[in-house]
Amino acid sequence: MKQILQSLRTGVTELTEVPSPGAGRGHLLVRTTASLVSAGTERMLVEFGKAGFIGKAMQQPERVKAVMEKARTDGLAETFDAVSRKLDQPLALGYCNVGRVIELGPDVHGFAVGDRVASNGKHAEIVSVPTNLAARIPDNVGDEEAAFTVLGAIALHGIRLAAPTLGEVFAVSGLGLVGLLTVQLLRAHGCRVLGLDFDPARLELARQFGAETVDLSAGNDPVRRAEAMSSGHGIDGVIVTASTKSSEPIHQAAQMCRKRGRIVLVGVTGLELSRADFYEKELTFQVSCSYGPGRYDSAYEIKGLDYPIGYVRWTEQRNFEAVLQMLAEGKLDVGRLISHRFAIDDAEAAYRIVGGSEPSLGVLLNYPTTEAVELLRSPSVRVPVAATMQARQPRSARSPTIGLIGSGNYATGILLPALQATGARLKVVASSAGVSGMHAARKFGIETATTDVAAVLADEAIDAVVIATRHDSHADLVIRALQAGKHVFVEKPLAITAAELEAIAAAYEATGGSPPTLMVGFNRRFAPHVVQLRKLLGSEPKAMVMTVNAGAIPSSHWTQDREQGGGRLIGEACHFVDLLRHVAGSSIISARLNRMVSTTGDTASIDLGFADGSIGTIHYFANGTKAFPKERLEVFSAGRVAQLDNFRTLTGFGWPGLKRQRLWRQDKGQAVCIGAFIDALANGGPSPIAFEELIEVSRATIALEAGGTV
């Protein structure tokens, strides 16, 4: 199917063939008939992409601080690579979609195949959208009208925050699409409206919708006009829908308002606020968040858990429905907001309009309806050799054939470069939405991109599966791959529950006397300094201290979700349990967790005891500063001490032949880890990490999370 993607590195927008998505749990699969380009948001993205590194930094100063902190701890080379990988990811554009439901995912209620729906789906011929981000379209509302639903919800939520009442006077600052929708919705609330803009054509539209206007390009004074409309008291509120770096719209809004007036920012402006503007009038100022309650809440948007209507009357989905009802009743006129129409095949021309100087407002994309749906619903796309961006290493006759499941940042930034360097045949990459998989295929010379995981596991040509998906899917995919007779490399963790782990062990044992190779991405044991440290250490018991300055992650992040990510101790601290197990060279016989009380529970100390008498402590702390190194290992043994800082510097104290060794760049052993796995497959050797160790480390980590002791 066709989808519009944009490069954050260059700002180039292209129409690309990508695999069609599947209908995931709680999702609708929708064949698109029309979508609306959100000129303000999407123009900003195009301009950001076209800016150079300095320009991008100036637009996101908060990110610059994070980059500088990473450079201090991880080094310039690693930081540059991380930023480059982020900019390299293509961005799927669009969030104003209309289409017809062609498939229902599991646990979908209230929708049927054939329903016309408006959603926040992308500019693509087929989209998969959560049920709480879609709404059925009334029969008397056309597809082009319904394409304004999401922008209408953005306008409506800003109005709800401003809480206008019948007879009040409001100003709308910025008369783009959202601003003109706001004008109409305020008029429907029974308000008098003053529209502010620099564009005479948009001011004329606002007047047609019943607003009085001020032409800012002519130097007219909006404050004086606001006083005239309010009998000298000042207007009741201002909704700012402008997009500008200037703070002037907020300053003007404060000057126009009466005492205790309300200002709501829906657009994007500078926020250098004057205390005097707000203090004397006791003004309220609020920033509106997108479509309404539920936005960015994964429990609502992804898991489909609705807010009770008695407590949250207007969620984002109910705002969608309200806008559609206004369209059905003829109280919202969007026909006059359409300035251009393009077929999806002419999408690049549409974005030249959006990013250019030609006047435009509502730019609609229309999609073909004559082709059979099944022709669009191809879950796999072959990638032409000419489209690949990087050459392979020479491949030997024994090089295994790899199928990759998952194509997120870690897969494309770390795993795929390492796999490519081995010379293995990269046959297919599977991703849920298709976009990231297609990008990975084009960049690393993978033959096919797909959204069909079952096809990857059933492909007899594939020798090994590399799994780099979210944590809750690991166990199921490992078991299915083992049952299909595939070798498996899975990113940590191996499993997030004890039941999953035992099921993996049973599936592995069921493969018989010559089981496939199963390996977890415990890469730190393969780091060059750790390899050297193991060679230096004797058989004496060791005392080890691992300090991990993990940094805070919000409780809303998926890694903190016990069902999806398993929590950070299972999801990441397992790395360090494995590292100490490896350095000790002896099995774990005891483990105890001491956790600091917090909302996330990700600041803790783990004490480990080993069969040879070694002991180890892992301080996994999320309450520190990024200015401090992220990872430090200290090993005390036989009157000597070794200290490894951030996998860049190894320092020996009292150690003959070891004083200080420093790498040019951080090396956590990822490439060697992957290389060891591929070598084992190519040469028929044993797994680089014994299966018993994988189970031991995983069992200990899961038990610690569940009960605190082993």
pLDDT digits (tens, 9 = 90+) for 543-600: 999 999 999 998 888 899 888 999 999 999 999 999 999 999 999 999 999 999 887 8
Q: Could you tell me which residue, 203 or 389, shows the higher pLDDT?
A: 203
Q: Is residue 324 part of a domain?
A: no
253: exposed, middle or buried (Cβ count in 10 Å: 0-12, 13-18, 19+): buried
CATH of the domain at 666: 3.30.360.10
pLDDT at 65: 57
pLDDT at 562: 87
Predicted confidence band at 77 (pLDDT cuts at 50, 70, 90)?
low
599: exposed, middle or buried (Cβ count in 10 Å: 0-12, 13-18, 19+): exposed
CATH of the domain at 471: 3.40.50.720
* 368-426: pLDDT as tens digits: 876 555 656 678 888 765 444 444 555 555 789 999 999 998 999 999 999 999 999 99
pLDDT at 62: 54
Helix (H) or strand (E) holding 647: none
Q: Are residues 622 and 689 in the same domain?
A: yes
Helices vs strands, H then E, count in the chain: 26, 31
Residue 668: pLDDT over 50:
yes
Q: Is residue 312 part of a domain?
A: no
Residue 101 main-chain phi, psi, to 5 deg: -65, 130
Q: Are residues 238 and 386 in the same domain?
A: no
The residue-averaged pLDDT of 324-329 equals 97
Location of structure tokens 């907020």: 250
Per-residue b/e over 271-292, b at no fewer than 16 CB within 10 Å? eeeeeebbeebebebeebbbbb
pLDDT at 222: 95
The residue-averaged pLDDT of 10-17 equals 85
Cα(466)–Cα(678) distance, integer angstroms: 11
SS3 call for 544: strand
Whole-Å CA distances, 687 to 277, 588, 673, 680, 682: 68, 20, 11, 6, 11
Q: Are residues 402 and 512 in the same domain?
A: yes
Residue 447 main-chain phi, psi, to 5 deg: -70, -35
Location of structure tokens 């000597």: 640
Q: Are residues 110 and 242 in the same domain?
A: no
Q: Which of 373, 398, 433 is at the close of a domain?
A: 373
CATH of the domain at 84: 3.90.180.10
Total domains in the chain come to 4
Name the residue among 154, 150, 332, 174 with its Cα closest to residue 238. 174
Q: Are residues 126 and 166 in the same domain?
A: no
Cα(662)–Cα(649) distance, integer angstroms: 4
Share of the chain above pLDDT 90, in %: 75
* 138-193: pLDDT as tens digits: 999 999 999 999 999 999 999 999 999 999 999 999 999 999 999 999 999 999 99
Q: Are residues 528 and 677 in the same domain?
A: yes
Predicted confidence band at 88 (pLDDT cuts at 50, 70, 90)?
confident
The residue-averaged pLDDT of 115-130 equals 96
One-letter-per-residue 3-state SS of 59-112: HCHHHHHHHHHHHHHHCHHHHHHHHHHHHHCEEECCCCEEEEEEEECCCCCCCC
Q: Is residue 308 part of a domain?
A: no
The residue-averaged pLDDT of 197-216 equals 96
Q: Is residue 320 part of a domain?
A: no
Structure tokens at 430: 């599977």
Q: Are residues 177 and 204 in the same domain?
A: yes
Write down the H helix ranges in 356-497. Answer: 373-376, 409-410, 416-422, 435-444, 453-458, 474-483
Q: What range defines the domain where residue 468 resides?
A: 380-518
Share of the chain above pLDDT 70, in %: 90
The residue-averaged pLDDT of 468-473 equals 96
Q: Which of 497, 518, 539 is at the close of a domain?
A: 518
Q: Are residues 529 and 659 in the same domain?
A: yes
Q: Is residue 315 part of a domain?
A: no
Q: Are residues 431 and 511 in the same domain?
A: yes
Q: Are residues 356 and 391 in the same domain?
A: no
Sheet holding 13-17, edge to edge: 13-17, 2-7, 90-92
pLDDT at 47: 64
The residue-averaged pLDDT of 59-83 equals 60
The residue-averaged pLDDT of 429-439 equals 92
Residue 237: pLDDT over 90:
yes
pLDDT at 371: 56
pLDDT at 664: 87
Report the chain's mean pLDDT, rounded to a whole number: 90
The residue-averaged pLDDT of 621-627 equals 90
Q: Is residue 329 part of a domain?
A: no
Structure tokens at 349: 């021309």
Residue type at 695 in one-letter notation: I
pLDDT at 76: 65
Rounded to a whole number of angstroms, the distance between the first and last alpha carbons of the chain is: 51
Residues 6+ apart with CB under 8 A from 669: 523, 524, 525, 526, 527, 528, 530, 531, 647
Q: Which of 489, 518, 547 is at the close of a domain?
A: 518
pLDDT at 393: 52
Predicted confidence band at 48 (pLDDT cuts at 50, 70, 90)?
low
pLDDT at 389: 45
Per-residue b/e over 16-40, b at no fewer than 16 CB within 10 Å? bbbbbbbbbebbbbbbbbbbbbbbb
Sheet holding 380-382, edge to edge: 380-382, 448-450, 425-430, 401-405, 464-467, 487-490, 518-520
Q: Is residue 318 part of a domain?
A: no
Q: Are residues 94 and 17 in the same domain?
A: yes
Residues 332 and 320: beta-carbon distance below 8 Å: no
Residues 653 and 615: beta-carbon distance below 8 Å: no
Angle at 708 between CA 704 and CA 709, to 5 degrees: 85
The residue-averaged pLDDT of 491-505 equals 96
Q: Is residue 300 part of a domain?
A: no
Cα(635)–Cα(407) distance, integer angstroms: 36
Whole-Å CA distances, 563 to 407, 438, 560, 596, 709: 21, 28, 9, 21, 21
Location of structure tokens 């096809």: 455
Return the biggest CA–CA distance within the chain: 90
Q: Are residues 240 and 265 in the same domain?
A: yes
Residue 34 main-chain phi, psi, to 5 deg: -155, 150
Residue type at 557 in one-letter notation: H
